[in-house]
């Protein structure tokens, strides 16, 4: 068997998230069906993580196994012909047999977009703010994330993970244009709903409802009920997943 990493992007608007769901269409299911059609057998696909319903990815990575070596360029072309318009495959790379798209990932990066203006073309991919928050104060609060590893306060309740520890390496708000700001966050791993909960709590800081020290206390209390409301998923994008180069064959 030869294992491959597959690099893809998707607009998550029409999907119930990455992972296969019993009651809705998922990106994983669409990809598995397309691969099964081409390889003429059932194919198990394992993603680098789980994006929630409505969340997008400009770069997701997954792995699958093939009984025979594949022509990567041919497979990319054929997959893109089979997949719906809102899912696109960029690349296939052969990897070592024990390489794992989820467990071998060293970093992941997300971006969350907010806008202070009503722009019809942005409504699917931006979170509309009806007042301009204090982004400087939000950045001050975001810097405190580097001081902690336990992010229980920003995790969805009753998940099956063994630890809520993560190492955040980058977290900052930057202005993209006159009305658009983007929050970029990079970590070794993320908990379910973590980015949306962090953004929602930072917005509480930006609106003056929470101080920077109050933001620290939210993290330290390790209680999801103390954090802010999660922001909508439509403005969240997974944008990068990194791996050690030694796992790749080509």
Domain end (from 51, 72, 103): 103
Residues 35 and 87 in one domain: yes
Residues 12 and 81 in one domain: yes
CATH of the domain at 36: 3.30.70.580
- Residues 164-204 pLDDT 10s: 899 999 999 999 999 999 999 999 999 999 999 999 999 99
Residue whose tokens read 């969240």: 236
Residues with active-site annotation: 52
Average pLDDT over residues 93-104: 97
Residues 17 and 51 in one domain: yes
pLDDT band of 21, cuts 50, 70, 90? confident
pLDDT of residue 162: 80
Residues 66 and 149 in one domain: no
CA distances from 154 to 139, 164, 198, 206, 226 (A): 17, 9, 6, 17, 9
pLDDT band of 159, cuts 50, 70, 90? low
157 pLDDT more than 80: no
Q: In this predicted model, which residue has the larger pLDDT, 126 or 22?
A: 126
14 pLDDT more than 70: yes
Residues 98 and 132 in one domain: no
Domain end (from 57, 86, 103): 103
Q: In this predicted model, which residue has the larger pLDDT, 22 or 189?
A: 189
Residues 92 and 126 in one domain: no
90 pLDDT more than 70: yes
The separation between the first and the last C-alpha atoms of the chain, rounded to the nearest angstrom, is 16
Residues 7 and 66 in one domain: yes
Residues 27 and 141 in one domain: no
- Residues 216-234 pLDDT 10s: 999 999 999 999 999 999 9
Phi, psi for residue 150 in degrees, rounded to 5: -95, 115
215 pLDDT more than 70: yes
40 pLDDT more than 80: yes
Does 110 count as an annotated binding residue? yes
Average pLDDT over residues 86-104: 97
**What does the alpha-carbon distance between residue 224 and residue 236 come to, in Å, rounded to a whole number?**
20
**What does the alpha-carbon distance between residue 25 and residue 10 come to, in Å, rounded to a whole number?**
13
Residue whose tokens read 């296969």: 20
8-state DSSP, 144: G
Average pLDDT over residues 232-238: 97
- Domain interval for residue 179: 110-239
166, 189 contact by CB (below 8 A): yes
CA atoms within 13 A on the CB side of 183: 28
């Amino acid at each position: 068997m030869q294992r491959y990493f597959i690099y893809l992007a998707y607009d998550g608007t029409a999907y119930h998230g990455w992972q296969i769901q019993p009651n809705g269409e998922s990106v994983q299911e669409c990809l598995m069906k397309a691969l099964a059609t081409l390889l003429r057998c059932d194919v198990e696909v394992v993603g680098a993580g789980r994006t929630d319903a409505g969340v997008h990815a400009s770069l997701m990575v997954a792995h699958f196994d093939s009984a025979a070596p594949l022509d990567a360029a041919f497979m990319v072309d054929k997959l893109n012909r089979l997949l719906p318009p809102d899912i696109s495959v960029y690349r296939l790379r052969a990897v070592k047999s024990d390489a794992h798209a989820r467990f071998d990932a060293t970093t992941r990066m997300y971006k969350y977009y907010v806008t202070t203006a009503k722009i019809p073309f942005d409504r699917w991919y931006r979170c509309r703010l009806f007042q301009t928050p204090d982004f400087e104060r939000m950045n001050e609060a975001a810097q405190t994330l580097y001081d902690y590893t336990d992010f229980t306060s920003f995790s969805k309740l009753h998940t099956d993970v063994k630890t809520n520890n993560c190492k955040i390496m980058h977290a900052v708000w930057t202005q993209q244009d006159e009305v658009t700001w983007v929050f970029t966050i990079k970590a070794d791993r993320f908990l379910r709903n973590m980015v949306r909960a962090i953004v929602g709590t930072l917005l509480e800081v930006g609106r003056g409802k929470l101080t920077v020290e109050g933001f620290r206390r939210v993290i330290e209390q390790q209680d999801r009920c103390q954090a802010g409301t999660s922001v909508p998923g439509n403005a969240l994008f997974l944008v990068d997943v990194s791996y050690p180069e030694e796992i790749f064959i080509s």
